[in-house]
Amino acid sequence: MNKRLLIVLILVSVTLFLSGCTEYNQPIRDDNTGFWNEFIVWPLVSFITLFKELLGSYGLGIVMVTIIIRLAILPLMIKQTKSSKKMQEVQPALAELKKKYSSKDAQTQQKYQQEMMAMFKENGVNPAAGCLPVLIQMPILIGFYHAISRMNVTPEINLGSFLWFPLAEPSIILAILAGVMQFIVLRTGPAMDNPQMKIMMYMMPFMITGFGIFLPSALTLYWVIGNIISFIQNMFIYKPWEKEKLQPAKTGGTKK
């Protein structure tokens, strides 16, 4: 992920979180005002409640809304996965390019950047493709946190349970399940062959589990269902059981 985009992602995440943090422990109703309430939190609450009425429980409502959200962004997720796969395929050629232009002077680095971008273009790699799905999911995830937290303190709403998990309370079992599913998703995706992503592959599950131990089970349920969908996606797109030797990538702009 490009460093500038990563910084933007962090700033957007912090901004979104702070925009709603002053009301996270207040009841949520349709007359709440403000952009965050009107366009993020209340729509999520409304959809969850709608499916609760149709399916009989808030747990099933959360599952259905999660599935709908993930299906809505599925084209972006597929594009991200394919881009990650192509990025993995060009790593050997990229390493050769870095070795060729190892000098740190401005002129050499400029030429390196030009040839790298030419190589990306020739191989259909978009370095920024991985950021967009994350940027889209971040307000949804934070919105889910605020929606669940505020539904939990709204007198008219009783979240109840999903299977044997009280949705308003943390669940260590569900948190561990979320962490395990996160590991499986990363293990069956591009991270399994990318040394730069292996640290994330081992850290993310522990982070998800840690958060899940303290957050309401309703939010952890969102992670579990989302990761199940991601796992199915990896099976169809990445096909980890068909690992083959990567073909050398085309190195655009290096012809003599």
Residues 145 and 220 in one domain: yes
How confident is the model at residue 11, as a pLDDT? Answer: 53
Q: Which of 75, 100, 124 is the last residue of a domain?
A: 124
Residues 172 and 193 in one domain: yes
Task: Give 27's contacts (C-beta < 8 A, 6+ positions apart).
Answer: 150, 153, 154, 155
Give the domain range for residue 56: 3-86+128-241
Q: How confident is the model over 189-230, as pLDDT tens digits? A: 766 555 556 666 678 888 889 888 988 888 888 889 988 988
Residues 115 and 18 in one domain: no
Residues 14 and 40 in one domain: yes
| Structural domain contains residue 247 | no
Residues 175 and 112 in one domain: no
Residues 141 and 231 in one domain: yes
| Identity of the residue numbered 172 | I
Residues 120 and 140 in one domain: no
d(Cα 238, Cα 234) in Å, to the nearest integer?
5
Task: Give 113's contacts (C-beta < 8 A, 6+ positions apart).
Answer: none
| Structural domain contains residue 254 | no
CB 192 within 8 A of CB 201: yes
Whole-prediction pTM: 0.70
CB 44 within 8 A of CB 143: yes
Please tell me which residue, 10 or 59, carries the higher pLDDT value: 59
| Structural domain contains residue 60 | yes
Locate 6 and state its tokens: 């990563």
Q: How confident is the model over 54-104, as pLDDT tens digits? A: 998 899 999 999 899 888 877 877 777 677 777 777 778 888 888 887 777
| Structural domain contains residue 237 | yes
Task: Give 234's contacts (C-beta < 8 A, 6+ positions apart).
Answer: 81, 185, 188, 189, 240
Residues 151 and 47 in one domain: yes
For 178, other C-beta atoms within 10 Å of its C-beta total 28
| Structural domain contains residue 249 | no
How confident is the model at residue 78, as a pLDDT? Answer: 74
Q: Which of 124, 145, 175 is the last residue of a domain?
A: 124
Q: Which of 100, 124, 148 is the last residue of a domain?
A: 124
Tell me: pLDDT of 254 over 50. no
C-alpha distances out from residue 184 to 42, 122, 181, 231, 241, Å: 32, 32, 5, 7, 13
Instruction: Give the mean model confidence (pLDDT) for residues 121-141.
Output: 69
How confident is the model at residue 37, as a pLDDT? Answer: 80
β-strand pairing of 165-166 with 161-162: antiparallel
How confident is the model at residue 198, as a pLDDT? Answer: 63
- How many CA atoms does the CB half-sphere of 17 hold within 13 Å? 9
Residues 82 and 111 in one domain: no
| Structural domain contains residue 207 | yes
Locate 234 and state its tokens: 């990896």
Residues 115 and 144 in one domain: no
Residues 72 and 115 in one domain: no
| Domains identified in the chain, total number | 2
| Structural domain contains residue 252 | no
Please tell me which residue, 134 or 52, carries the higher pLDDT value: 52
Q: How confident is the model over 96-108, as pLDDT tens digits? A: 888 887 777 777 8
Q: What percent of the chain has pLDDT over 70?
A: 73
How confident is the model at residue 119, as a pLDDT? Answer: 81
| Structural domain contains residue 159 | yes
CB 61 within 8 A of CB 214: no
Confidence of residue 175 (pLDDT cuts 50, 70, 90): very high
Residues 43 and 102 in one domain: no
For 126, other C-beta atoms within 10 Å of its C-beta total 16
What is the Cα gyration radius of the chain? 21
Nearest to 224 by CA among 169, 153, 135, 162: 162
